[in-house]
């Protein structure tokens, strides 16, 4: 009698386990899919990430060249314009130099998207 009762209890537990719905996380995954993309990162091997040296040197050189042009208020305007233009040019020259010496890495990023 005890073995029959134990067998019936075992069958009941086994059948209940067989019909247990999957966990909520597994159900949610059925209506989602994974989207991946390659992302490129750049690591600049420089201590001057703001390119202050290039900007400063360019501004001084541009200001000196601009000072050689014009007279009176025109000379002042040429000096200021030369300093601004030289600063921008120096910044871009240093940026190009840093990009050539930078280290690029590509890694994969994935995330789940609802259908």
What residues does each domain of the chain span? 34-114
Q: How far apart are CA 103 and CA 46, in angstroms?
A: 11
Q: What is the DSSP letter of 50?
A: T
Give the per-residue pLDDT at 79: 94
Q: At what angle do helices 73-100 and 52-67 cross, to 10 degrees?
A: 150
pLDDT of residue 12: 62
- pLDDT at res. 109: 93
pLDDT of 83 reads 96
pTM above 0.85, yes or no: no
pLDDT at 15: 60
- Look up residue 76 and give its two tokens: 């002042």
- What is residue 56's predicted lDDT score, i.e. its pLDDT? 95
DSSP letter for each residue of 54-78: HHHHHHHHHHHHHHTS-STHHHHHH
Task: Point out which residues pair with 5 in neighbouring strands.
Answer: none
Q: What is the pLDDT of residue 99?
A: 87
pLDDT at 10: 57
What does pLDDT average to in each consecutive run of 10 residues of the chain (115 residues)? Answer: 58 56 58 92 84 94 91 90 96 91 92 90
CB atoms within 10 A of CB 1: 5
pLDDT of residue 65: 93
């Amino acid at each position: 009698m005890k073995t029959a009762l134990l067998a019936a209890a075992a069958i009941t537990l086994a059948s209940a386990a067989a019909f247990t719905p999957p966990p909520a996380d597994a159900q949610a995954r059925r209506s989602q899919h994974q989207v991946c993309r390659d992302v490129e990162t750049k690591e600049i091997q420089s201590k001057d990430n703001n390119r202050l040296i290039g900007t400063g040197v360019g501004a001084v050189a541009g200001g000196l060249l601009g000072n050689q042009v014009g007279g009176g208020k025109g000379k002042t305007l040429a000096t200021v314009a030369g300093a601004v233009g030289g600063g921008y040019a120096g910044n871009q020259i240093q940026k190009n130099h840093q990009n050539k010496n930078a280290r690029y890495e590509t890694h994969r990023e994935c995330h789940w998207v609802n259908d």
